[in-house]
């Protein structure tokens, strides 16, 4: 049994301008203990999907089964109960600005009926976990974005969730702070066994911590599977676009106007001899349009885009593949 089963879920919003199909026949299984990413551009349907996971939004059709419970079979009280096992963190942190850090974390504990000093003691333990024990008396306005997100994570943990939904939780943070928050989420996943669902538009976030990913566009899942495999062999057009994500405009233009191939390798250091040997073997130069290293699932992956120039290059591609490199034409 999967921790979360999304079965043929569709969602249509009725608006003054007509119907909006936000989700269309979405099927996703998320296993217990997984860090699962849902990625897509703006408007792809990510937020709607994540709201369907706890029935903040009811699907128009289809089923959401969380930890064996079909959410549509639950009454209001049972649904509230089921939701206590699903915590959520957001891009804008959603903290109570008039309350101290400690009181923010106490909030779900008090809702659960834990009183006074007992709640404060537990809240301090959660602040300890996120590395903010010394900020208990501060107000959120006195904290940095990364610290605010840590408070939100401590508050989310205080509900003792089985599942943590993260909706663009690092989108407002700089890259270094993003890495720290992702490392904290990973630690929480490993040490507490909490299943984590990450909604993001940033492929780097998926590559950094997710085991599996669903790539969405126009309310549909375009590609789903293991992050490492999809990084090496993206199949859908949107998957290729998100993974390639060439920020340098000159490089992007070169890729478009040439016969470009993307090569993925496990260790950057091994790139050079293979490419150099290929050039020596075939006596044909190649043009390197881009080279980079990325962290995918904790492994350094080398990525290079090369242009073979005019003429036949099947033998060169065969040469690279024989040496264990993943080679794909960039369309
Ligand atoms: N309450 C609503 N009423 C009408 N349309 C909605 C509503 N919520 C979402 N939509 C529409 O559904 C589609 C999917 O929106 P959604 O917010 O789920 O996408 P998203 O991938 O989360 O985008 P973003 O990254 O910009 O938040 C969009 O076309 C959006 O305009």
CATH code, 70: 3.40.50.300
Count: domains in the chain: 2
CATH code, 315:
3.30.70.260
In this structure, the answer to whether residues 202 and 291 fall within a common structural domain is: no
Map tokens 């009181």 to a residue: 103
Listed range (110-124, 223-237, 273-287) with the worst mean pLDDT: 273-287
Q: How many CA atoms lie within 13 A of 110 on its CB side?
A: 9
Cα dist from 112 to 80, 81, 96, 115, whole Å: 12, 11, 18, 9
Q: Give the count of alpha carbons within 13 A of 215, CB side only.
A: 22
Is the pLDDT assigned to residue 330 strictly greater than 90? no
- The residue contributing the CA closest to ligand 1 atom 26 is 42
pLDDT per residue as tens digits for the range 51-104: 999 999 999 999 999 999 999 999 999 999 999 999 999 999 999 999 999 999
- Choice from 9, 14, 45, 219 to test ligand 1 binding pocket (greatest atom count within 8 A of CB): 45
Mean pLDDT of 245-262: 69
Least confident stretch, 13-22, 37-46, 270-279:
270-279
Whose CA is closest to atom 5 on ligand 1? 13
Which residue minimizes the CA distance to atom 1 of ligand 1?
13
The helix (H) or strand (E) run that includes residue 284 is none
**Tell me, what DSSP letter sits at residue 142?**
G
ipTM: 0.96
Judged against a pLDDT cut of 70, whether residue 251 lies above it is answered with no
Distance CA 101, CA 141 (A): 10
Answer yes or no: is 279 within a domain. Answer: yes
Specify the residue with its C-alpha closest to ligand 1, atom 25. Answer: 42
Residue 40 Cβ contacting ligand 1 at under 6 Å: yes
Q: Is the CB of 220 under 6 A from ligand 1?
A: no
Comparing 19-28, 166-175, 235-244, the range with the smallest average pLDDT is: 235-244
Asked whether the beta carbons of 306 and 271 are under 8 A apart, the reply is no
Find the mean pLDDT for residues 193-201. Answer: 96
Domain boundary among 204, 233, 262: 233
Q: Is the CB of 48 under 6 A from ligand 1?
A: yes
Mean pLDDT for the stretch of residues 35-59:
94
Give domain status of residue 241, yes or no: no
The reply to whether 281 falls in a domain is yes
Q: How far is the CA of 214 from the centre of ligand 1 (A)?
A: 17
Expressed in angstroms, the distance from the first to the final Cα of the chain is: 38
Identify any residues that bridge with 57 across adjacent strands, giving them in sequence order: none
Q: Is the pLDDT of residue 264 over 90?
A: no
Note the pLDDT of residue 200. 94
Q: How confident is the model at residue 302 (pLDDT cuts 50, 70, 90)?
A: confident
pLDDT, the chain, mean: 90
Checking if the pLDDT of 253 tops 70, the result is no
In this structure, the answer to whether residues 189 and 70 fall within a common structural domain is: yes
For range 3-27, the mean pLDDT: 96
* pLDDT the model gives residue 91: 92
What pLDDT sits at residue 216? Answer: 97
Do 152 and 83 share a domain, yes or no? yes
Which residue from 210, 214, 312, 321 is spatially nearest to 262, judged by alpha carbons?
A: 321
Same domain for 178 and 48, yes or no, is yes
Closest C-alpha residue for ligand 1 atom 4: 13
Give the distance (Å) from ligand 1 centre to CA of residue 92: 17
Q: What is the pLDDT of residues 138-179, one digit of tens each?
A: 999 999 999 999 999 999 999 999 999 999 999 999 999 999
Indicate whether 75 and 190 sit together in one domain.
yes
Report the pLDDT value the prediction gives residue 271, as an integer from 0 to 100. Answer: 62
Q: Does 2 have pLDDT greater than 80?
A: yes
pLDDT of residue 255: 66
**Residue 318, domain extent:** 246-329
Assigned domain for 130 exists: yes
Cβ of 42 less than 6 Å from ligand 1: yes
To test the ligand 1 pocket, which listed residue (21, 48, 56, 91) has its Cβ within 8 A of the most ligand atoms? 48
């Amino acid at each position: 049994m999967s921790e979360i089963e999304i079965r043929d879920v569709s969602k249509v919003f009725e608006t003054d301008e007509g119907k909006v199909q936000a989700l269309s026949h979405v099927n996703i299984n998320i296993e217990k203990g997984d860090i699962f990413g849902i990625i897509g551009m703006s408007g792809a349907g990510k937020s709607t999907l994540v709201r369907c996971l706890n029935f903040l939004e009811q699907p128009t059709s289809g089923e959401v089964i969380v930890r064996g419970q079909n959410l549509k079979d639950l009454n209001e009280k049972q649904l509230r109960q089921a939701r206590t096992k699903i915590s959520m963190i957001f891009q804008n942190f959603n903290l109570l600005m008039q309350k101290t850090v400690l009181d923010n974390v106490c909030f779900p504990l008090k809702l659960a009926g834990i009183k006074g000093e007992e709640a404060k003691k537990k809240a301090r333990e959660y602040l300890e976990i996120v590395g903010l024990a010394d900020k208990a008396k501060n107000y959120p306005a006195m904290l940095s974005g990364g610290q605010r997100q840590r408070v939100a994570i401590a508050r989310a943990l205080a509900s003792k969730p089985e599942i943590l939904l993260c909706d663009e939780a690092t989108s407002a943070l700089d890259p270094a702070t993003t890495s720290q928050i992702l490392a904290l989420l990973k630690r929480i996943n490993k040490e507490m066994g909490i299943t984590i669902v990450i909604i993001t538009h940033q492929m780097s976030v998926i590559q950094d911590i997710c085991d599996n990913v669903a790539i969405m566009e126009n309310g549909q899942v375009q590609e789903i599977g293991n992050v490492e495999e999809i990084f090496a062999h993206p199949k859908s057009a949107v998957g290729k676009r998100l993974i390639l994500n060439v920020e340098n405009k000159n490089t992007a233009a070169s890729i478009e106007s040439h016969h470009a191939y993307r090569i993925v390798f496990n260790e950057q250091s091994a790139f050079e001899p293979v490419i150099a040997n290929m050039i020596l073997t075939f006596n044909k130069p190649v043009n390197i349009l881009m080279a980079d290293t990325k962290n995918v699932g904790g492994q350094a992956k080398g990525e290079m885009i090369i242009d073979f120039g005019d003429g036949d290059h099947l033998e060169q591609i065969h040469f690279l593949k024989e040496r264990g490199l993943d080679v794909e034409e960039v369309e």
